Structure formats: C-alpha cells, structure tokens
Amino acid sequence: MIDWLHKLAPRVVIAVLGAVFLTACASAPLQHEALFDSNSPYQHQIELEQTPFFPQEDFQCGPAALATVLQTSGVSDADPDVLAGQIYLPERRGSLQMELLGATRRADRVPYVMAPNFEALLQELHADNPVLVLQNLGLPRWPVWHYAVVIGVNPEQDEVILRSGTTEREVMTMRRFERTWQMANYWGIVVTQLGEIPASADPLRYFEAVAPLEQQQRFEAASLAYQAATERWPDEATPLIGLGNIAYQQQRFADAELYYYQASELAPTYAPVFYNLAWALLRQGKHESAHQAAQHAQELAPDHPRFGQAVTTIENAANEQA
C-alpha cells in the first residue's frame, strides 16, 4: 500500500513526541541581552491586550494556558474545565507537554513547537501570536513546573508580560523570565488560526507539527496547513506529498496523482514520491504509468525493503484488480 512512514521529504524526519527531558543550566548565557540594540526590529513595546484570561485553580495552569491560546486561534468554545479532563494528570498534579500537543490537535489546530530561543518568542509576539511557555519557577534540582502565556514585552522597562496563574497581567523582568524559561529548555508552542503559519516557523518543525493531524485523519486541518506551507515554502516537496496522501485516503486518486507529480518535480530523487504515485495511478487503472512510476522508485532505492520491490508489488496489485 501507499507509503506513509516516508511521507516527509528527504531532510525531514517525523519526530516522536514525548516528555521533554529538562536539564537547563542556570549559568548558561541569556539570549535576550543581544536582541534589543538600536537596530533591533524588536525594540518597541508590544502587548496583546485582547488575549483571553482564565484564572487557574491549583495545578491547572496547563488547561488554562491552553484554553488561552486556543481561543486566540479561533476555537471559541475552548474551556479550561473541559481541557482539564483531557490533559490534567492528577498523579502528576499537572500536564505533560505531549498532552497539550494532543489536545491542540483534537481542536483541529497545529501545535507548533517553537525553536528554543528568545528571538522566536519575539517574532511571534510581533506577529500578534501569544506564546504558551513552560517555566521552572523553582531550581534545576527541585523544579516547579508552570505553564503561562506570554503576551508582551517592554524592552525599555526590561519587562515580559504574561497571563499566569491567577494574575491577568503578570510582569517579570526579562532576566527573571528567561531564567525560568531557560530551565525548561525554552519550550513553547504557538497555535494559529487554520491556514496560518507561525511567524518563526521553519519547514522541518512545521511539518513535524502537521504530520500527526494527517495521521489522525483530521484532513481539513491538515489540508489547510499543507496548503499554507506550499505558499510559504514553494520549493518544499513535503506539503505536496502530504496533500497527495490526504487525497489518496479520501479516494481522490486523480488529485493524489497531481500532487505526487508536483512533488516529484521538487524531489526527483526521492523514491517514496514515485512509489506513492504508482499507487495513485494504479487506483485509476493506469497500469502502464503505474508500472513506470514503480520502476523509477525501485531504481532510486534498489536496496530498500519496500521500494526495492515496488514493481512486483504494483504488478501483483494490478493482477488482483484485473
């Protein structure tokens, strides 16, 4: 059948999302100090005052923070109490990152995990995107984990502004904020409206964020995300492969064929594209073209256990259709 595990283009690997191993060093240099000189595009104050606020109950900072960014992304019915049932782990008295990512996808949104740096945070704020961050309010050896939403910075006053806990507008010095964020490995997510891409996004991280939506058959959200990616990164084959996979699963085989052909032009040495193309052609009864695509996939990866047998696989499937 069609190859799902090799959907991402050659330089992309699907990440296995799990709990982050948090071992930040409190003595590491701070990043923000180099970002606010006179030529900086971030030297002006920004505060996203319209960002919703949900005062948290004990240990409910995860659901409250997630509801904040989900509502900002257009999920108007996002509710901390409902989300708590999905992501709050009583035995841990909190929520793990992967629970937040999963709940975001269940809301048909892309949970983009930012690059772990302060400049990415500033890029998002200046694009009007609040950022959900994980902080360690304790010490590296005795952590006190806490989720909050960054809604602004004031470089002149050396301030970061957050929706945090029971405080609608918590103000921290940049140094204090970055230390707490640094001790959580600068983990943060951005959740945008459907069809929009975070300002700081790079292709690899973005495709890793979108791929699980496709695998979970959340096709509308995944399609809009991939369509946006074709516009943001027109030289990337991965979103076209993703669109082809979605079309194939929906039995829109002619559309799948078109997407795979377009992807093959951008990744002409990538065997999975031609293997998937062969299946899309076969499903339309285009046996000769399917054979040619399979042969090309086999030539590109003769030693691969699947692609190296592409011709035989397609021929057997064609005989079953006959």
What DSSP state is assigned to residue 129? -
pLDDT at 175: 96
pLDDT more than 90, % of the chain: 72
- pLDDT tens figures, 27-69: 688 889 888 877 888 889 999 999 999 987 665 788 899 999 9
pLDDT digits (tens, 9 = 90+) for 275-302: 999 999 999 999 999 999 999 999 999 9
Residue 26 reports pLDDT greater than 60: no
For the chain, the domains span: 32-191, 203-321
Confidence of residue 182 (pLDDT cuts 50, 70, 90): very high
User: Residue 30's CB: how many other CB atoms inside 10 A?
Assistant: 15
On average, the pLDDT of the chain sits at 88
Which pLDDT score is estimated for 11? 41
Higher pLDDT, 13 or 40: 40
**What is the reported pLDDT for 99?**
87
| Residue 5's pLDDT band (cuts 50, 70, 90) | very low
Residues 6+ apart with CB under 8 A from 163: 51, 52, 53, 54, 65, 68, 130, 148, 149, 151, 169, 170
Residue 102 backbone dihedrals phi, psi, to 5 degrees: -65, -45
The verdict on domain 32-191 having CATH code 3.90.70.10 is: yes
* 178-204 mean pLDDT: 96
Domain 203-321 has CATH 1.25.40.10: yes
User: What band does 14 get if pLDDT is binned at 50, 70 and 90?
Assistant: very low
16 — pLDDT class (breaks 50, 70, 90): very low
Three-state SS at 17: coil
What's the pLDDT score for residue 307?
96
